[in-house]
Structure 1
């Protein structure tokens, strides 16, 4: 299959799959249960049950906790109480519903959003190796898993679609490690609410990942908004030129240069203060 005329270069559907996609496809076919530990930059983990993906986590993208707290959907005190009461027993999603903090649909959407965004972030930043741990390895399970799980093939199609979109960002030189600058400060009504929030976090130091964590939004939608802001000329990926120095508050009066005298013109000092007689 070849790329369509509107598909960015390198985004053909037939390109070789990465290590992450190959590993997930293989484990899905094997109906694997356990955890895949993915070494990358920064890598992450994927939890599977009978070939279905139930959770994914990476430092490159916000997880369920950041998506809820940073977005302001749940207060930190409420999350802490629910976490302490239910997380050790693995029933945090039920506790969130029982406390009225989220509905059942809200929990499902949250879990799915975190999984898809984490897999996209890992595929985008790159995975070098994959280590398999069976369910016998023990350890705590995911905080907010997808129940009963996501089909691997359907999930991989969505990840591939997002990677093809990301190829267009690379044409713009927009990467996960970019540090965009604001170059246009326009009235609020010119930029819609979501992109206005993203624009408000652009300061020349934050990366797309930093902005995603700050806002409690997924990496993919944040980078999509940054790409639109970049194309519309609101931000730049090159450092903004420094403004000229401000003039001094008060004019500075130049100091007079010292008068240079010849040695013969200097007054002479005499012993006992008396000048010699002629």
Structure 2
């Protein structure tokens, strides 16, 4: 029988850990891509779709570092990638998104809050909000990731997704509610209730996450490194809640789609705009 994970014993054990306990973990990410491209002849172009899908998947393979102590962490992208633009066969695709390599995600586990510094079109925001209670469920399954024994936990959530398509210059918006399962593998051998991105709340460092189409895997852990780890909370930017920022992102995406629509009317040739979020 599955059970909700209780962290009381874990928190007591961490209390006896060294006050100076620090570490850093390196994570690699990749995302599955699923989309269709219409070449204007009434049927998807299979060869072009495969080629673009391969190129876009490479664009979304990124590396991040999580610097942490017992109660705080900072998660940053290791190398900045420009906004992906892929062009093939006279067709150009541009990915719209926020922040990219400039994002800094700060988490405070004790206070159960986070601060995410991000940018949209050069404007800096500070998203300040409470950490989500994931309500993880233990499964009893284990596996090894590197030298660490990991335990499996899962959770499910309902999410409303909005997708946009453009046909002959006309924008179509579609909304649907989907169920997304998140699978996390954590190790009590690193006794902190933290992990990559926004994930946390398990009795050990999260080393692997499968969240819908996104996969995050830890490739290296260094505990108490000789080089001092600095964890600083971002301070500069317009302060907004997560809900307020989501509205800003939604309005920004619609504005970009309108610009794309007007640009397409003034040009010949095929052009598509794809937005990937979450």
Q: TM-score, with normalisation over the residues of structure 2? A: 0.24
Larger radius of gyration: 1
Question: If each structure's helix is expressed as a fraction of its own residues, which one has the higher value?
Answer: 1
Question: If each structure's strand is expressed as a fraction of its own residues, which one has the higher value?
Answer: 2
